[in-house]
Chains A and B, each alone.
Chain A
């Protein structure tokens, strides 16, 4: 291959140029895989929250384990016109007191599994092995894939929940649960969930309250929120407004508000990836342009010779563009593989399954981008070469 030989002749320069592209594509790959991870994460959120209505106590500000609601509120919500089904949601933290470090992900949680309402959710979860808990289950848990692999649990094993924090106070309580199922990986929230029966979830919620409060409330009357699903054709935003208006003491969040907050979260990562791509474009692009200009200048006589023996403008153009494209491809492959290695190593060291996700789409974008970068940056120097006058080129020193 003449192209590779020409590149190989100028090892140092080619290496530097390719390194520029490698850095750029490396940045693009790592940033992109972060973005891809959050796209999936947020995509799950968008599907789940876009297709259901979250109803909380109107004094709470939403989220898990916020203000508690009573069970009869659930019945009132079920009776609102347009509601197909509504189920209780009771959640507590699976690792109380653990400071979630730089984890952008979803905190580990324990949640009741409500078969009737889950059936209405557009976001589907399924078990890889075992089964889901039912209403009669006691001390049985189905683990999300990340939790299962973090604690190396399989169906039939037992796990203490919630996980005892290092600085547990004397009133900390947990229980031995039998793992009855492990979920398929979703790459989003359910991976970090532990699903138990409503009864067990309420028990754990009650036990998570400060000791002083524990005696004063009956945990089996408490739920943290209600998830409502609309009848087919019902506008969920309008239904949310109606629930808030009709049922006293509750606030139903419009699905579209949640979806747009998820989307704006995703925008940050899109921005970061774009910035990395821009970095690649500038560093890689400029070094390719520089190298190719030098190469064209050095090989002026070669260009003259080729023209003399019959090369047309487009022949010379494509020869030089092929060289810069090859640099783009080589740099792109190396950068992508290094990025992949890096994300693999970082993911591996992370018990929660890692922050990076390399998708086929990202692979394609990174490699196409690298090749286009090489080709694009090579065009201007190549044009210079192709337009050279053969006589002048042949006489050059």
Chain B
């Protein structure tokens, strides 16, 4: 089953003169375990696309289907519920709560999903271990570098074991080496747990290291390709595409 699917997804902002068509009939299917990048010029509709897929925003028309559930049939409370159980978010500005330690930030989603705290704590410790922050569990965000904060934020997005993680320019605020390390971590999680990742990025080098690149322009998908790295590794598959 597809992790997430959009059907004729459209979004217009404003009315009349100032009307902007940010998305215009996007059909997209993302399978379980895919690692995908969305690229496109500023204003092409990437953030809008992600907000709709993350059920943070209702499209003007079209549908978003998460794990087989048509989200347009759900009320706001049910959408929040679905979001907390199935979708993780990573943001450009990390968005960690300054009053909380790394561990508390990672466990914050549990407050709203009501999951098993003990099991989640063990998972959180595992994530911190994996990204080399095991000793930083009790540190506040202000005591950590940008890259460290983003690793904590990625762990937070994974804590409820979602099927999909959405990141809007998650590497936008860190240097290239850190960005590579973060991508590495996400790829590893993706490979180990079959969690689908959808990452918006401006960095075409980073995009090239994902499985699939969607290019948007003026709210349309203008290309949907498997980068060359895959070509090298799997020439047969690329030739078929």
Asked if residues A312 and B80 are in contact (CB atoms below 8 Å), the reply is yes
Asked if residues A305 and B112 are in contact (CB atoms below 8 Å), the reply is no
Interface string of B89-126 (1 = CB under 8 A from A): 10101010111100010001101110000000000000
B225 adjacent to chain A (CB < 8 Å): no
**Contact (A6, B95) CB under 8 Å given A310-B109, A312-B112:** no
CB-CB under 8 A from A302, the residues of chain B are 95, 97
Asked if residues A310 and B80 are in contact (CB atoms below 8 Å), the reply is yes
CB proximity of B138 to chain A, nearest CB, Å: 14
Asked if residues A312 and B77 are in contact (CB atoms below 8 Å), the reply is yes
Residue of A nearest to B96 (CB): A305
Asked if residues A9 and B112 are in contact (CB atoms below 8 Å), the reply is no
Q: List 17 A-B contacts (CB under 8 A).
A: A2-B99, A6-B99, A9-B98, A301-B95, A305-B91, A305-B95, A306-B112, A307-B80, A308-B54, A308-B83, A309-B89, A310-B84, A312-B80, A313-B76, A315-B112, A391-B51, A394-B91
CB-CB under 8 A from A305, the residues of chain B are 91, 95, 97
CB-CB under 8 A from B100, the residues of chain A are 2, 5
A390 adjacent to chain B (CB < 8 Å): yes
CA distance A311 to B91 in the complex (A): 17
**Contact (A313, B77) CB under 8 Å given A305-B95, A308-B54:** yes
Question: How many interface residues does B have (CB within 8 Å)?
Answer: 28
B224 adjacent to chain A (CB < 8 Å): no
Interface residues of B in 183-206 (CB under 8 A from A): none
CA distance A313 to B112 in the complex (A): 11
Asked if residues B56 and A391 are in contact (CB atoms below 8 Å), the reply is yes
CB-CB under 8 A from B54, the residues of chain A are 308
Interface residues of A in 267-323 (CB under 8 A from B): 301-302, 304-313, 315
CB-CB under 8 A from A390, the residues of chain B are 56-57
B46 adjacent to chain A (CB < 8 Å): no
B156 adjacent to chain A (CB < 8 Å): yes
CA distance A2 to B91 in the complex (A): 22
Q: A305-B95, A306-B112, A312-B81 are in contact. List 5 more A-B contacts (CB 8 A).
A: A302-B95, A305-B91, A307-B56, A308-B89, A391-B56
CB-CB under 8 A from A311, the residues of chain B are 80, 84, 111-112
Interface residues of B in 62-98 (CB under 8 A from A): 76-77, 80-81, 83-85, 88-89, 91, 93, 95, 97-98
CA distance A2 to B84 in the complex (A): 20
CB-CB under 8 A from A304, the residues of chain B are 95
Asked if residues A310 and B83 are in contact (CB atoms below 8 Å), the reply is yes
Residue of A nearest to B89 (CB): A308
CB-CB under 8 A from B112, the residues of chain A are 306, 309-312, 315
